[in-house]
Structure 1
Amino acid sequence: MPAIKGRGAPANPSSARFNLPQREADGDWLDEAEAIDGAAPPPRTSVTVEHPRTIITRNSSPDIGFDRSLNAYRGCEHGCIYCFARPSHAWHDLSPGLDFETKLFAKPDAVALLRAELGKPGYRVAPLAMGTNTDPYQPIEKDWRITRQCVEVLAECRHPLFLTTKSDRVLRDIDLLQAMARDSLVVVMISITSLDAHVARTLEPRAPHPEKRLAAVRALSEAGIPVHVNVAPVIPAITDHEIDAIIARAAQAGARGANFIPVRLPHEVAPLFRAWLDAHYPDRAGKVMAIIRELRGGRDNDPRFHSRMKGQGVWADLLRMRFRKALARHGLPRPAPPLRSDLFRPPQGAQYSLF
């Protein structure tokens, strides 16, 4: 299956997990459209407004360091082929393939909903994570600015924030993040999967160049904002050889620490990833999937808590050893600093406090 220029998924398969119909060729004109009209036009990005009832998502997962998150957008134009959030598009009767990266949803009500939830009398403060499902600084943030507005609310309320992105667009909010960092209210995580421009272009086709991400690490660090690097995901036989180089560059740029996660392939992500391998790395597709299955207990994916983030077996042990040695070699064996929750003040609403 050929790759589609500028997109991550090579196809747009429908999902059968939620009883959505799989379209099969039945001889109508749609089946012959490309042969008659030539190659199909490149898919264009569209944005639909979504009106959720709440904006903070809660979780009780024992293997992640936060219990609440906020996603300003659904779907992500970065088009990362490995994105574990792809299957969530099936809830909208859309494909986890090209639909996930071209048919996006924006939540302009997020700001008002966030204010309302933070203002509830029973609200208990703990770090809020942004960028856990789709990237808060994907290209449409330039126009919609929903992430910016949400960070403004969190800064106003002095609410702790974990912010994860693979985009240098985060620098547009450096004024807010710098003010929050002075009170130990924010940590920024920049994801860098590969330093190789060719690999990055096929793996994460609309994400900023790795050098731009490293420049963002440097700028955030120089502004006094704690910044860590996510070497995630690590893909065996494609990006694993870059672990040491990424850690070295991250340390030079001023990162305070780093972490890694082996590639995860839940639900529809696995067949999409296989198709991507066939399109871009046919010479080693079988080897890559064989190692992934060894990491995942003989399956394409292991959803169990704790092991899903680390993998298992010899390959998982080898990756951990290489990563720890790289951290020690470059002086980055430091965990993310704790964030303060004792400075929180509820939003004032329309009528501001006199004091």
Structure 2
Amino acid sequence: MNEQSLAGQAAFAPANTADIADAMIVSAGFRIDVDRRRGRAAGLNPSGRFEPMRREAIDDGWQNLEDLPPFKTEVQIEKPRTAITRNESPDIPFDRSINPYRGCEHGCIYCFARPTHAYMGLSAGLDFEAKLFAKPDAAKLLERELAKPGYKPRVIAIGTNTDPYQPIEKEWRIMRQILEVLEKANHPVSIVTKSAMIMRDLDILSAMAERNLVRVSLSVTTLDRKLARTMEPRASTPTRRLEAIRALSEAGIQTSVMAAPMIPALNDHELERILDSAHAAGATEAGYVILRLPLEVSPLFRDWLLQNYPDRYRHVMSLVRSMRGGKDYDAEFGKRMKGAGPYAWQIARRFEMATKRLGMTRRSMPLRDDLFVPPDGSGVQLSLL
């Protein structure tokens, strides 16, 4: 990239020296060639934050960087000790969750789960989208945990970190195996996804819905197909997600819509349209989350924004920081999901007025946990007493 084009891109950056420097460094030397990352959202693949060394792209004269092979989806098997993850976060409405996969092929550029790939010695950038981990023993581990003496059932959340219905689920079918265990045990589950693949499991979900054991939320970020393709390259199209809402609702399943994340000056103007469309498709509840940019997500998102919407860079980041106390992100409980300040307040009031108009403010009945029947315990270690 020559100095002239570099200066042209930097001109769109905020009048913040650090931002301009970041934008120039990213554009000048660390960007992965578009042909190597086709169908991916992240343009960078920086070293994980725990790595002792940092990688930098240089031309040593031996091989042209454009000659390197494209990024392909690779899946490794992970062997966890447990299937259920516990949390005590005060602003999350569940205390346990299951993640069938680590990393996500949907590749949403804003995904707050990207930094978790650093624990695997990998990048939160392209590695998060292309180097995935599957947990094929998850269903067996879950069955064993549910059979333990003293286990008390409460709603298990799935899809809170990475999407259980990402494309590799077609082959691995781990999510379906988990649902089979939960359905057999009459265990309540709450699912969040942005994939129409969930319709594959309508047989299990509708059977669970008859006993009030399941709730599903479809994440609809935008109705603009072009924006969705750029921002969430391998997720279902907005139209397909609305079709999934309709199919789930018609099957008698409690279905809601998550307008998340709302990104100021990029998709927040669609909030009411998203809610209207989801309500027309059958969603009875709704929620929203303001854009979150923790750790590595911030430079990845800012680079993506600079490359795809350079004319909006300054405005978007200014509004984001106005909701985060002048920073890219504020992780304080109670504020991290909704933000703070006048702009965040405005979005909250718009959401409140729209859901009230649509009758989406009522809360559905709590999922039942009194029907739980522990598995037979096969595979559970016996007591030595």
TM-score by length of 1: 0.94
SS at match of 2:85: strand
Residues 41 and 230 in structure 2, CA contact (< 8 A), matched pair in contact too: yes
- Counterpart position of 1:33: 64
Equivalent residue runs for 1:143-182 within 5 Å: 143-182=171-210
Paired with 2:277 and 2:126, the residues of 1 have a C-alpha distance of 32
Q: Partners of 2:334 and 2:61 in 1: how far apart?
A: 49
Kindly indicate whether the alpha-carbon contact (under 8 Å) linking 2:321 and 2:329 is maintained by their aligned counterparts in 1: yes
Q: 2:77 aligns with which of 49, 55, 61?
A: 49
Q: Deviations over 1:309-347 (max 9, x none)?
A: 110000110000111111122221123431111110101
What letter is aligned with 1:228? S
Q: 8 Å contact 2:42–2:304 — kept in the other structure?
A: yes
Which among 48, 54, 59 is matched to residue 22 of structure 1? 54
Given that 2:144 and 2:378 are in contact with CA atoms closer than 8 Å, whether structure 1 keeps it comes out as no
State the SS of the aligned residue for 1:259: strand
Q: 2:339 corresponds to which letter in structure 1?
A: G
Encode CA deviations 1:156-181: one digit per residue, 9 max, x unaligned: 00001010100010011111111111
1:177-203 deviation digits (Å, cap 9, x = unpaired): 111111111100000000000010011
| Structure 2 residue 137 is the aligned partner of structure 1 residue 77 | no
Task: State the distance in 1 between where 2:306 and 2:67 align.
Answer: 20
Q: Which amino acid aligns with 2:322?
A: E
Q: Match of 2:200, as an amino acid?
A: R
Structure 1, residues 13-44: CA drift from partner, whole Å, max 9, x if none? Answer: 1122x2442113576457x522xxx4544311
Partner in structure 1 of residue 222 of structure 2:
194
Change (3 A) 1:298 1:336: farther
CA distance in 2: counterparts of 1:253 and 1:27, whole angstroms: 52
Cα distance in structure 1, aligned partners of 2:58 and 2:252: 60
Partner of 1:243: 271
SS at match of 1:333: coil
Distance 2:67 2:297 in 1: 25
- Pairing partner for 1:12 from 45, 51, 69: 45
Contact 1:251 1:331 in 2 (8 A): no
Once residues 365 and 67 of structure 2 are traced to their aligned partners in structure 1, the CA distance between those partners, rounded to angstroms, is: 52
Give 1:345's aligned residue: 373
Given candidates 60, 66, 73, the residue that maps to 2:94 is: 66
Aligned residues: 346
* Aligned-partner SS, 1:308: coil
2:170 to 124, 132, 142: 142
Q: Distance in 2 between matches of 1:278 and 1:336?
A: 41
Q: Give the letter aligned to residue 132 of structure 1.
A: T
Q: Which runs of 5+ in 1 are unaligned?
A: none
Q: Secondary structure at the match of 1:230?
A: strand
Identity %: 55
Larger Rg belongs to: 2
Instruction: State yes or no: 1:314 paired with 2:342.
Output: yes
Q: Report the 3-state secondary structure (helix = DSSP H, G, I; strand = E; otherwise coil) of the residue aligned with 2:108.
A: coil
Moved more, 20-29 or 269-278: 20-29
Amino acid corresponding to residue 15 of structure 1 in structure 2? G
Q: Deviations over 1:229-256 (max 9, x none)?
A: 0000000000000001000001100001
Instruction: Find the counterpart in structure 1 of residue 298 from structure 2.
Output: 270
Letter in 1 for 2:148: K
Gaps of 5+ in 2: 1-26, 380-385
Alpha carbons of 1:85 and 1:336: their partners in 2 closer, same or farther (altered >3 Å)?
A: farther
Q: Is the 8 A contact 1:187 1:336 kept in 2?
A: no
- Alignment RMSD: 1.5
Residues 14, 20 of structure 1: 8 Å contact kept = no
Instruction: Give runs of aligned pairs for residues 271-350 of structure 1, distance below 5 A.
Output: 271-350=299-378
Q: Distance in 2 between matches of 1:227 and 1:329?
A: 18
Q: Structure 2: how far apart are the matches of 1:14 and 1:217?
A: 38
Change in Cα spacing, 1:29 to 1:133, as seen in structure 2 (3 Å) is farther
* Local SS of the residue matching 2:209: helix
Cα separation, 1, equivalents of 2:371 and 2:351: 35
Match for residue 145 of structure 2?
117
Give TM-score, length-normalised by structure 2.
0.87
SS at match of 2:157: strand
